[in-house]
Amino acid sequence: MKLYLKDGTVFEGESFGADVSAAGEVVFNTGMTGYVETLTDPSYAGQILVCTYPLIGNYGVPAPDTFESPKIQVAGLVVAQYSPEYSHHDAQRSLASWLKASGIPAITGIDTRALTKRLRERGVMLGQLANSGKRGTFTDPNKEDLVARVSPKKKKVYGGGPIKIVAIDCGMKENIVRSLTRPETTVIRVPWNYDLTNEKYDALFISNGPGDPTKCTATIETIKKAMAEKKPILGICLGNQLLALAAGAKTYKLKYGHRGQNQPCVEAKTGRCYLTSQNHGYAVHAKSLPAGWEKWFTNANDGSNEGIRHRSKPWRSVQFHPEASPGPTDTTWIFNEFIASLKK
């Protein structure tokens, strides 16, 4: 099997996934563990994932109830060394068997260090995993409305508490649902383009998701209506970008994005640094924030925006993932603070 990059670079290795070809945007993740949660994260839709940690597959694949969505979301997987022998008390199958059953191609034996350096220097680029020995057509997933692909088609309700939170699912990870569901809450999970006109709710949540945020025009309009009604709002990842766009700010594409579980973020007012889990290729132009808004968090590595909030209204969002899965749980207090504010 070969990995072809649009700049003409070719990496050759061995296939250990499905015997098919796949095209997408080649991105890298710096996490040392958590490949099951990462592969099932809908934010990776349309992307060929490169794992920088060299050994992948050594703890197998657990039961589906630990996944972040019902299926593998990546277009393909690239690793330096696949471990066919796995050992973990929760493991039910090997990574290779899961990939094959899911129809997802994967390649091992690649110099992922060289590949990652190229992506850092030149930026993420289109690529293709091909088993036929011949390169096909490159496909840019960011030209597609990826959120419409991964968002559910119907509303679903969790819990029965008095506080009603509408969660717009743009590709929401399951641990976000778990984090919002408390004895005091009812979580109403709705599609990305759901009409909230006749929905009675106390607060709005905007989830993570894949692709270019400017394509989510229906979601942006829904957020604007919630803001007009002065509803409390919390956003995560893509939700940070969508809240910014609804407020009148701008977004842009990062050179190679932030993907991993070790991104340091600094809270603006306290100066405290948190380690966070991240997966995004776009960011908010902090300088484009309109009057009344302020930076909440900043990435300690590159200075990019990691969160915004309104100075007087109950609207805020973060670019990272406080729900973790995988990654550190340093910022789970954001959910606690949000839900506590709804009790007042």
Final residue in a domain of this structure, among 107, 126, 143: 143
Structure tokens at 62: 């657990």
Residue 134 sits in the same domain as residue 153: no
Residue 17 sits in the same domain as residue 127: yes
Residue 35 sits in the same domain as residue 73: yes
Query: What pLDDT, on the 0 to 100 scale, is given for residue 133?
Result: 72
Final residue in a domain of this structure, among 143, 175, 195: 143
Query: What pLDDT, on the 0 to 100 scale, is given for residue 131?
Result: 87
Residue 121 sits in the same domain as residue 157: no
Q: How would you class 12 by CB atoms within 10 Å of its CB: exposed for 0-12, middle for 13-18, buried for 19 or more?
A: exposed
Place of tokens 């990574």: 95
Of the candidates 221, 163, 222, 151, which has an alpha carbon nearest to the alpha carbon of residue 188?
Answer: 163
Residue 99 sits in the same domain as residue 159: no
258, 280, 310, 321: the active-site residue? 321
d(CA 173, CA 169) in angstroms, rounded, equals 9
Residue 120 sits in the same domain as residue 186: no
What single-letter amino acid sits at 134? Answer: K
Residue 309 sits in the same domain as residue 163: yes
d(CA 28, CA 117) in angstroms, rounded, equals 10
How many CA atoms lie less than 13 Å away from 263 in the CB half-sphere? 29
What single-letter amino acid sits at 200? Answer: K
Q: Along the chain (344 residues), what's the average pLDDT of each consecutive run of 10 residues? A: 96 97 97 96 98 97 95 98 96 98 98 97 96 84 94 97 98 98 98 96 98 97 97 98 98 97 96 97 97 98 98 98 96 98 87
Residue 216: active-site member: no
Q: What is the CATH number of the domain that holds 114?
A: 3.50.30.20
Residue 30 sits in the same domain as residue 101: yes
Structural domain range at position 316: 149-342
Is 317:234 a contact under the CB 8 Å cutoff? yes
How many CA atoms lie less than 13 Å away from 330 in the CB half-sphere? 17
Residue 122 sits in the same domain as residue 173: no
3-state secondary structure of 288: helix
Residue 51 sits in the same domain as residue 138: yes
Residue 85: active-site member: no
Residue 170: active-site member: no
pTM of the model: 0.96
Query: What pLDDT, on the 0 to 100 scale, is given for residue 343?
Result: 87
Query: What pLDDT, on the 0 to 100 scale, is given for residue 245?
Result: 98
Query: What pLDDT, on the 0 to 100 scale, is given for residue 192?
Result: 98
Residue 300 sits in the same domain as residue 154: yes
Distance of CA 294 to the CA centre of its chain: 23
Residue 133 sits in the same domain as residue 162: no
Final residue in a domain of this structure, among 112, 143, 174: 143
170, 237, 306, 310: the active-site residue? 237
Say how many domains are in the chain.
2
